[in-house]
Chains A and B, each alone.
Chain A
């Protein structure tokens, strides 16, 4: 790859994640959700693997925590799903309940549904980057 493409790839990483974050946060108010955000963020990582190479990417980014991110995301989603049972509500009851007022931080609404979406985001991000990393490493080990 040329010097140019390496630089462009690196420069693109931050904007990609910015977009992912925006899609994530605006998810409840506008197009997009945790799933799309997770895919966008991992596409940014994938670009690094393609252009910069596996070794440098793994030094640059904490991809070795992909599995933990996936587990943590699943844990968040599970907690949001089952904790309402402790209060005697049906599973996956979201708070604030319909009719109650919601706190806003800009376009971000503080809802447990959004937290659930964050869990989905982390899981998708973890799984996608984890799979990318596994494939990249498997390729490197192959005798060519």
Chain B
């Protein structure tokens, strides 16, 4: 029996987040276990989501890091139910499909079959992240899961990591969505700075229209739009087709891209406080509809066509969210459900067809409906749904869309019809291109696991056409959250001339015209699309990326070019800044020459030794004497510390000098010697350097830096010691912190965070040394 603690919210969260680690562990133990465990855990998560939707999940609220005002707040509300059903349900279909597809994929590229564990691991991590994301009620928590989806998508898109295009595409998707996620964080922090909370319910209740809120929600929307691949940041999505097909199916229908519109739906009550943002959403949505729709009509590669279609489909959703209100929210929610089923089915079809025929583009395909009837019917239903034909769930998605657009005046109505007509045209282009016409390539027989998911999704699309009420209820619950007011969705067929029907008929008519007039506009559209792809935002992305790479290379080259130059770039600005500080400090009587007593003799002696050693260091001709003389400076100073009565500092100084001198000498033995290949390079370098003699420059730089450091040290030492300083309070507080040795207490307690940072740096430096010496050794 489930107790109060085990409510639907917690059960769903735990099952979804546990799927990835369980599968990975099982897979590492026995490779053959990965597939059954993946299917069972995903099915369990789906069952939990269904139960949670029926039951309703209460709010789960636990302190996380109270000192930083962070809480773990989850709630399985209508919106979360919709998206978690999609993430787990579509996830189940994709996992079953992948259990056959990925082994074939790995065999084609001659990779180890054990790699499938990595696939399941990241796919299910993605699912867990999506479920966490949609239930989170706290902006910081949303950001966390948001980035988790970006990370898992990076590894999934780059799954074929031996291919360069896969790696570049993964990086592009990660950079676009990851950098925009920083915008989201800035937006969230802006709201936090004003209202002191990350909790969404509080923010919705307390925010009012202001410039700050507009800026914050604009930043949040920018992140959402980049994730949903909306223009002008749409270009990463077609590139992401480098991923294996099941990944594409999941990214497009239920995860990555859906996360963007989910976020818009989640923060919608905040968005409504800014008219600018709402209007921008409509404009960007239509721009994406046009870009995606037109480009989809020109693509020949199956997955590319579908990718551009996704851009356009989510453009619809963004338009509806921009229109807002009860109608807009209802239409957007219903649209997301219908689109997820259809787009997943179409992607899985593309993968199955490519697997059976080896063809990736429309040019080598046609007439397959006789050979693959089940696939043809399943994907036919999905394509018909996308085209919004009656008797499919897709009809209602456009019905609600038109209803929402109807209030907004003629331009919006016309654009809506045009978008729907484009969808109609490329849906036919996809399905007709594969299944209709004369047979082009004879297919191999396919496993039922590759066709059944498509058939089931197609059946759901048809079911939604004749019995839309479960879908409508799900959308209703989600829209209620998005709109912030109770929403009622009524979907039914009306055989009259209401405006939605007229718009639907117009869209189908224009779509048919587009299909039959294809030869007329095809060349022009291809030319336009080539131009936009070549001179579009993607070009800017590459230019920026290459530019940054070049800048980094150049900085690095300056840095490693020449040791003297590198030291000079540190010394000169440091010296000048210090000198400027001295120049502006009022220094009446600062520089005093004190008096010496007999008791000071030991210190003076040691300091003289240090000074002599320092001068000798400048004259040393070989490395060994340089190292020894330098440690001589250190040891003399250590003695001075001891004489001045600070044994802790002296101890540390002696130890440091000892190990430093020994390691320095050890490193000298690694320098290239006569006869080494490297020595020739060094000699050549030295000759070149001698030609451009820099000794004069070096002397001037050293004089400036050293002289100014001397003046500052003199100035500081001339000042009388202040009575109350930081160190006095440290001395006073050390016993309170249970310590007697002040240096240790400062290191471990008062300035513990500094120590933490420093030891981390030491650890990282160790990694660097190890990498460098190992590589050098294997050469």
Chain A residues engaging chain B, CB cutoff 8 angstroms? 27-36, 39-40, 42-43, 46, 50, 67, 70-71, 73-74, 77-78, 81, 85-86, 88-92, 94, 96, 98-99, 102, 109, 111, 113-114, 116-117, 119-120, 123-124, 126-128, 130-132, 134-139, 141-142
B655 touches A31 (CB 8 A): no
How distant is A83 from chain B, measured CB to nearest CB, in Å? 11
A77 touches B756 (CB 8 A): yes
Q: What is the CA–CA distance of A74 and B765 in the complex, to the nearest angstrom?
A: 13
Q: Is B490 an interface residue (CB 8 A)?
A: no
Q: What is the CA–CA distance of A91 and B745 in the complex, to the nearest angstrom?
A: 16
Contact of B738 among A28, A119, A136 (CB under 8 A): A28
Contact of A139 among B666, B738, B752, B756 (CB under 8 A): B666
Q: What is the CA–CA distance of A94 and B753 in the complex, to the nearest angstrom?
A: 12
Q: Chain B residues with Cβ under 8 A from A141's Cβ?
A: 777
What is the size, in residues, of chain B's interface with A at 8 Å between Cβ atoms? 47
Q: Chain A residues with Cβ under 8 A from B745's Cβ?
A: 28, 113
Q: What is the CA–CA distance of A99 and B738 in the complex, to the nearest angstrom?
A: 9
Q: Can you add 5 more A-B contacts, CB < 8 Å, to A123-B759, A124-B759?
A: A85-B68, A113-B752, A127-B765, A131-B663, A134-B774
How distant is B63 from chain A, measured CB to nearest CB, in Å? 7
Q: Chain B residues with Cβ under 8 A from A29's Cβ?
A: 739-741
Q: Is B747 an interface residue (CB 8 A)?
A: yes
Q: Chain B residues with Cβ under 8 A from A31's Cβ?
A: 647-648, 651, 741, 743
Q: Is B569 an interface residue (CB 8 A)?
A: no
Q: What is the CA–CA distance of A31 and B651 in the complex, to the nearest angstrom?
A: 8
Q: List 8 A-B contacts (CB under 8 A).
A: A30-B741, A33-B744, A39-B658, A73-B759, A88-B65, A98-B737, A134-B769, A141-B777
A137 touches B777 (CB 8 A): yes
Q: Chain A residues with Cβ under 8 A from B66's Cβ?
A: 88
A86 touches B65 (CB 8 A): yes
B63 touches A88 (CB 8 A): yes
Q: What is the CA–CA distance of A98 and B745 in the complex, to the nearest angstrom?
A: 13
Q: Is B276 an interface residue (CB 8 A)?
A: no
648-681 of chain B: CB within 8 A of chain A: 648, 651-652, 655-656, 658-659, 662-663, 666-667, 669-670
B659 touches A39 (CB 8 A): yes
How distant is A34 from chain B, measured CB to nearest CB, in Å? 8
A96 and chain B: residue at smallest CB distance: B738
Residue interface bits B404-416, CB-to-A below 8 A is 1, else 0: 0000000000000
How distant is B740 from chain A, measured CB to nearest CB, in Å? 5
Q: Is B726 an interface residue (CB 8 A)?
A: no
Q: Chain B residues with Cβ under 8 A from A113's Cβ?
A: 737-739, 745, 748-749, 752
Q: What is the CA–CA distance of A74 and B767 in the complex, to the nearest angstrom?
A: 13
How distant is B193 from chain A, measured CB to nearest CB, in Å? 20
Q: Is B590 an interface residue (CB 8 A)?
A: no
B762 and chain A: residue at smallest CB distance: A127
- In the complex where A130-B770, A139-B670 touch, is A33 in contact with B759 (Cβ < 8 A)? no
How distant is A7 from chain B, measured CB to nearest CB, in Å? 21
B670 and chain A: residue at smallest CB distance: A138
A135 touches B741 (CB 8 A): no
> Which of B656, B738, B740, B748 has the most C-beta atoms of chain A within 10 angstroms of its own C-beta?
B748
Q: What is the CA–CA distance of A138 and B663 in the complex, to the nearest angstrom?
A: 13
Q: What is the CA–CA distance of A91 and B68 in the complex, to the nearest angstrom?
A: 10
A138 touches B752 (CB 8 A): no
Q: Chain A residues with Cβ under 8 A from B744's Cβ?
A: 27-28, 32-33, 117
Q: What is the CA–CA distance of A118 and B66 in the complex, to the nearest angstrom?
A: 28
Q: Is B523 an interface residue (CB 8 A)?
A: no
Contact of A39 among B656, B741, B748, B766 (CB under 8 A): B656
How distant is A5 from chain B, measured CB to nearest CB, in Å? 16
How distant is B722 from chain A, measured CB to nearest CB, in Å? 25
Q: What is the CA–CA distance of A102 and B382 in the complex, to the nearest angstrom?
A: 71
Q: Chain A residues with Cβ under 8 A from B736's Cβ?
A: 98-99
Q: What is the CA–CA distance of A124 and B769 in the complex, to the nearest angstrom?
A: 14
B752 touches A81 (CB 8 A): yes
B748 touches A135 (CB 8 A): no
* 3 interchain residue pairs of minimum CB distance: A88-B66, A33-B744, A39-B655
Q: Is B535 an interface residue (CB 8 A)?
A: no
73-125 of chain B: CB within 8 A of chain A: none
B755 touches A120 (CB 8 A): yes
Contact of B663 among A36, A71, A98, A132 (CB under 8 A): A132
Q: What is the CA–CA distance of A3 and B766 in the complex, to the nearest angstrom?
A: 34
Q: Is B552 an interface residue (CB 8 A)?
A: no
How distant is A59 from chain B, measured CB to nearest CB, in Å? 20
Q: Is B67 an interface residue (CB 8 A)?
A: yes
